[in-house]
Amino acid sequence: DGGITQSPKYLFRKEGQNVTLSCEQNLNHDAMYWYRQDPGQGLRLIYYSQIVNDFQKGDIAEGYSVSREKKESFPLTVTSAQKNPTAFYLCASSFVSGNHQPQHFGDGTRLSIL
Amino acid sequence: GQQVMQIPQYQHVQEGEDFTTYCNSSTTLSNIQWYKQRPGGHPVFLIQLVKSGEVKKQKRLTFQFGEAKKNSSLHITATQTTDVGTYFCAGVWVGSARQLTFGSGTQLTVLP
């Protein structure tokens, strides 16, 4: 079955530690996205990539980094510079077209601070 | 900055009652999408509206895009317990290089 796989489902970060969230898709989508979701809020865009080896900052990129070395993979690193990392992180992917194609989401990773 | 305002934030209805959530933008949208997120789950795409005044139906769900393309609504007729979840709109502004911007969502609770 085609889909998006995020891992791990739960992640705990110590102070001063970088952690990396995995996102893999086998939908042959060109574009991939990372969102952060806090309780009672909508999804806020962290980073997105429309093609391999290229990515763009979203609305809340500070304290995060990404890479896009393969079409199928778009890992997100939450660095120690992100002072409030506790949130639900969602990865999504879509085809690229002029009309903003529907996004398909993974099951998410819940990140907490120890 | 540009935002998509969504109201209400929470809605409790008795099973069988209708439900409506609204999205508003101060500037013209190129298109708007609707997603549903079940409790503990991830957002799932429902529909996309592109044309001014467009109305689309999916069984008990009716989606509308305003004539000025600045607002949209989702109406559910005769809610069922399976409708429980948070409904998000997400829009893209005309002439903007920005990606989808999500509203804050409406959390629907259906009481049996």
Chain A residue numbers with beta carbons less than 8 Å from the beta carbon of B50 are 99
Give yes or no for A104 touching B (CB within 8 A).
yes
User: Where does residue B35 rank: exposed (0-12), middle (13-18), buried (19+ CB within 10 A)?
Assistant: buried
Name which of B42, B48, B56, B63 to mutate to probe chain A: the one with the most chain A Cβ atoms within 10 A of its Cβ. B42
Mean pLDDT of B5-27: 96
pLDDT band at A114 (very low <50, low <70, confident <90, very high): confident
A12-37 as b/e: b if 16+ CB within 10 A: ebeeeeebebebbbeeebbbbbbbbb
Share above pLDDT 70 across residues of chain B, in percent, rounded to a whole number: 99
Q: pLDDT of A41-81, one tens digit each?
A: 889 999 999 999 999 999 999 999 999 999 999 999 999 88
Mean pLDDT of B63-81: 97
Q: Whole-angstrom Cα distance, residue B34 to residue B38?
A: 13
Under DSSP, is residue B36 helix (H, G, I), strand (E, B) or coil?
A: strand
Answer yes or no: do A42 and B6 touch at CB < 8 A: yes
pLDDT band at B1 (very low <50, low <70, confident <90, very high): low
pLDDT (0 to 100) of residue A99: 61
Mean pLDDT of A86-114: 90
pLDDT (0 to 100) of residue A13: 87
Within 13 Å of residue A107, how many CA atoms lie on the same side as its CB? 8
Expressed in angstroms, the distance from the first to the final Cα of chain A is 35
Under DSSP, is residue A84 helix (H, G, I), strand (E, B) or coil?
A: coil
Minimal Cβ distance to B48: which of A90, A92, A102: A102
* Residue B32 · residue B91 · CB < 8 Å: yes
pLDDT (0 to 100) of residue B44: 97
pLDDT (0 to 100) of residue B30: 92
Q: pLDDT of B42-60, one tens digit each?
A: 999 999 999 999 999 999 9
Share above pLDDT 70 across residues of chain A, in percent, rounded to a whole number: 96
Q: pLDDT of A25-44, one tens digit each?
A: 999 999 999 999 998 788 99
